[in-house]
Amino acid sequence: KIPVSGKTIFLSVSKGIETRSLKRMSELIREELGKVKIAVLSGPTIAYETARGIPTTAVIASPEARINRYLQDVFMAPEFRVYTSLDTIGVELGGSLKNIIAIACGVSDGLGFGTNTKAALLARGLAEISRLGLTLGAQAKTFSGITGLGDLVTTCISPYSRNRKVGEELGRGKKIEEIIKHMRMIAEGIPTTKSAYKLAKKHKIDMPITHEVYLTLYKHKAPIEAVRDLMGRRKKEE
């Protein structure tokens, strides 16, 4: 057992929302470790690119500016630029929920759609993420930053994105059970979709893309039917 105290700083790099409790990773860490200082590191950091020293940015977030500055100094490097934020909720949610939209973008790729479709999914997906995030206490500006829009774009377009790849395989007609069976690493967007679906129902938040991804993953809805239902929704203002 690792000894901890009120001065211990625990940095979480996990992205996800627990499916039963619907808690963020930092909340679960708090339950397990008690009165430690908790910060999170998140952002568009595809591992393959980061390991190669390609210029990358990320955000460290905690409620304490002093801790943020300390960790910023620890992790800052010539090819790794670190920003700070006091919005732990927004940073965690942005890093988690974008994986759902990445699955949707992958479905679009698998179905052979183009950039028009992906642009729509990115824009409307960010709107869904923001709606849920604001309801849960996040700050709006976080979702237009590195851990919101930045991480969303990277995960939705990168050929190395596991979540986008899951969606692509779904779009090509594979069953989710078959996809999971042959995966070497977890795609966090699969369980996060269930968590976000539950949160949307709990708080009565309109999240149509998340809803259709959930039905595709957990109810075996045909991806093309999900697309038709999204496009056939009632008319509205943006």
CATH number of the domain bearing residue 83:
3.40.50.720
Measure Cα distances from 101 to 8, 9, 33, 136, 159 in Å: 35, 31, 32, 19, 15
Q: Looking at the structure, do residues 105 and 18 belong to the same domain, yes or no?
A: no
Q: Could you list the residue range(s) of the whole structural domain that residue 112 is in?
A: 89-231
CA dist 28 and 193 (Å) reads: 18
pTM more than 0.75: yes
3-state secondary structure 54-111: CCEEEEEECCCHHHHHHHHHHHCECCEEEEEECCHHHHHHHHHHHHHHHHHHHHHHHC
**What is the per-residue pLDDT for 197?**
99
Flag whether pLDDT at 63 surpasses 80.
yes
Does residue 125 share a domain with residue 73? no
The residues annotated as belonging to the active site are 98
pLDDT tens sequence across 80-89: 999 999 999 9
Is 152 in the same domain as 63? Answer: no
Domain stop point among 61, 88, 115: 88
Residue 3 lies in a domain: no
**Pair (23, 125) in one structural domain:** no
Distance of alpha carbon 9 from alpha carbon 92, whole angstroms: 17
In tens, the pLDDT along 142-201 reads 999 999 999 999 999 999 999 999 999 999 999 999 999 999 888 999 999 999 999 999
